[in-house]
A and B are shown apart, each in its own frame.
Chain A
Amino acid sequence: MSGRVEGSMAGGGSAVSRVVIYGLLLVFAAIFLTPLFVMLITSLKSLDEIRDGNMLSLPQSPTIAPWLSAWGTACIGLTCNGIKGYFGNSIMMVVPAVAISTILGSLNGFVLTKFRFPGHKLIFALMLFACFIPFQAVLIPVARVLGMVGLGNSIGGLILVHVVYGLGFTTLFFRNYYEAFPTELIRAAMIDGAGFFQIFRRILLPASGPIIIVTVIFQFTNIWNDFLFGSSFASGDGVPMTVALNNLVNTSTGVKEYNVDMAAAMIAALPTLLVYVVAGRYFVRGLMAGAVKG
């Protein structure tokens, strides 16, 4: 993605074809942006304005009342405390899950690239395939086991699940990155008497900045956006943001407050959008690393 900015074709062409190309690209950009745009302007309108006005027209008298209501007083199920509690649930779930899965992934990547023992290829293959299973194939046993060990409907249970099913990806990321790391450096440190963790902390970690960012962003986005695990293993006040948002939007009692729905959706989107805007380059690298190995 990065690197050369200019196109690989010589470019140029007639002025007409340039206009057509730019026109097409801008039309697509408009289509891609429309849902976000509609969400944003609707979240700033009053209900009357939504009812009488046009979906695509800008708010006449912008109001942040829907945002305040979504955050603090909107009703989800029987409780009317807005989405702030669920936002907190997601934060409490995401931070430890991302940290633990990233740390384990980096250690695993180190072991799998710089040490040899019987079966290391099989171990990696099994961890790699684990990235791709449809989670439906483990949903029932996970629900049973979480219930048995007392982690059913708890943030702790969700953290455990996200760490376990994220390990394959984090290990894959670090393994591919460390493979290019000069083994001679590690060999030299070993001869000098450095131990496993010393080498990891002093030599490997300082050189791991980019892959740590890629992994953290990938995991953060995936876990924050997860819906299947959240809706399967949590309920009531313990559900993460995405599940609460879905419940809010599908609540059918009373007047449908579209502006509040949209404001809640915007709030749910903000953390990942923020990460994307600030570090989009790394987000793309993570997606590609998960898609095209090697």
Chain B
Amino acid sequence: MSSSVIDPAVIPRMRARPRASLQDWLPRIVLAPSFAVILVFVYGFILWTVWLSFTHSRMMPVYALTGFDSYARLFAQPSWWMALKNIAIFGVLYVVICIALGLTLAILLDQKIRIEGVLRPIYLYPMAVSFIVTGTAWKWFLNPGTGLEKTMHDWGWTSFQFDWLVNADMAIYTIVIAGVWQATGFCMAMFLAGLRGIDGEILKAAQIDGASTYATYRRIVIPALRPVFLSAFIVLTHMAIKSYDLVIALTGGGPGNATELPSTFMYSYTFTRNQMSVGAASAVIMLMTVAAIIVPYLYSELRERRQ
């Protein structure tokens, strides 16, 4: 690797020009502001948040350390437990259904479908539009008084009931439906790219050997997609933990706090309930969860590339 890279300490010396020393340093000078900004705005601010989580900050930050009090208060909040329960339900269903549906769509699309060029963008467009936008339609659609339930009643099916959006026990599943709708196309695109990367010769050989389509997929195609499963899992888990617009647009966390997620919990405790240290503590927990998933993944990706 090092042979394909310019060593600025060597070439400029050969030129032996007065500007050489500036040219030596220029790459570093160019990179420095970006790096400094990330160091401060990302890592410095994370430390700042961690510090605040160990204080009694309420509306304004105070910096006197008070140990793990905020964490104790955080875990004494029923709505935080609600948020944890919801992120578990939402996260698992969202990741599993997106992967299952995305893989299904990708396999179906991979059967020499003539209108693939039309269908692919249709499956993927939800990723291009803010959920604040599409959420207005979803909210309307899921609302018993205006959407699906009313439509079914209009069509004569008067006993039809679909009130999940306003039902505290079921509302979290409407978040799952909308989230799956938004991210499935993205999963499909990842799997489709994976499918197109499989060596056609192997598949041909399997077919000549008389393997059924089902057996070919089960024994050759799906195992070959392992890295895509891993990427999809990482990306979706990360997106699930960061999900915020989804809840705000659809339920605003309600009814009651039935659809509270850690992301909405953090926002409301910090900015509207004046419990900044509790909000900071919840943010730290979110960060640690994401880091536990992302860091090993990035580490292995960077290592692989070095070889």
Interface residues of A (CB under 8 A from B): 1, 3-13, 18, 21-22, 24-25, 28-29, 31-36, 38-39, 42, 54-56, 104, 107-108, 110-117, 121, 123, 125-130, 132-142, 144-145, 164-165, 167-168, 171, 183, 186-187, 190-191, 193, 195-197, 221, 224-228, 232, 242-243, 245-246, 249-250, 258, 261-262, 265-266, 268-269, 272-273, 275-277, 280, 283-284, 287-288, 291-294
Contact = CB atoms under 8 A, between A and B. Distances in A.
Given A32-B185, A129-B294, A291-B231, A276 B128 contact: yes
Given A10-B203, A140-B276, A273 B129 contact: yes
Given A39-B136, A140-B49, A144-B61, A1 B302 contact: no
Contacts of A142: 41, 45
Contacts of A168: 38, 42
7 contacts: A36-B134, A133-B46, A142-B45, A167-B34, A191-B15, A228-B245, A276-B128
Interface stretch (B68-76, B88-96, B117-125, B167-175): B117-125
B30 A111 contact: yes
A136 B113 contact: no
A8 B203 contact: yes
Contacts of A134: 241-242, 263, 283, 286-287, 290
A196 B27 contact: yes
Most A C-beta atoms less than 10 A away, residue of B30, B45, B110, B130: B130
Contacts of B146: 55, 258
Contacts of A291: 186, 190, 231-232, 235
A269 B126 CA distance: 10
B37 A167 contact: yes
Contacts of B151: 54-56
B160 interface: no
A29 B125 CA distance: 11
A158 B150 CA distance: 41
Given A126-B38, A265-B134, 4 more contacts: A12-B112, A114-B5, A137-B284, A221-B128
Contacts of A9: 110-112, 203, 213, 216
A226 B37 CA distance: 21
A234 B245 CA distance: 16
A139 B198 CA distance: 43
A65 B31 CA distance: 51
Interface residues of B, number: 122
A276 B304 CA distance: 33
B105 interface: yes
Contacts of B231: 291-292
B123 A32 contact: yes
B189 interface: yes
Contacts of B109: 7, 25
Given A38-B137, A144-B61, A258-B146, A136 B267 contact: yes
Nearest to B204: A10
B38 A115 contact: no
B119 A35 contact: no
A288 B139 CA distance: 29
Given A117-B27, A134-B287, A292-B231, A262 B6 contact: no
Given A196-B23, A245-B132, A250-B252, A129 B137 contact: no
B112 A6 contact: yes
Contacts of A292: 190, 228, 231
Given A35-B138, A137-B46, A269-B130, A246 B248 contact: yes
B111 A7 contact: yes
Q: Is the interface of A mostly helix, strand, loop or mixed?
A: helix
B192 interface: yes
Interface in B125-176: 125-130, 132-134, 136-141, 146-148, 150-151, 154-155
A139 B287 CA distance: 12
B132 A227 contact: yes
Contact of A187 (B6, B119, B120, B147): B6
B76 to A, nearest CB: 20
B141 A35 contact: yes
A177 to B, nearest CB: 14
Contact of A242 (B130, B195, B196, B291): B130
Contacts of B262: 136
Contacts of B100: none
Contacts of B213: 9, 13
Interface in B211-269: 213, 216, 228, 231-232, 235, 238, 241-242, 244-245, 248-249, 252, 262-263, 266-267
Given A3-B196, A139-B270, A276 B125 contact: yes
Nearest to A261: B136
A128 B298 contact: yes
Nearest to A195: B23
A178 to B, nearest CB: 11
A55 B145 CA distance: 11
B111 A13 contact: yes
Contacts of A36: 125, 134, 137
Contacts of A141: 44-45, 48-49
A108 B287 contact: no
Contacts of B38: 126-127, 130, 164, 167-168
Given A42-B140, A115-B8, A258-B146, A288 B193 contact: yes
A160 to B, nearest CB: 9
B130 A225 contact: yes
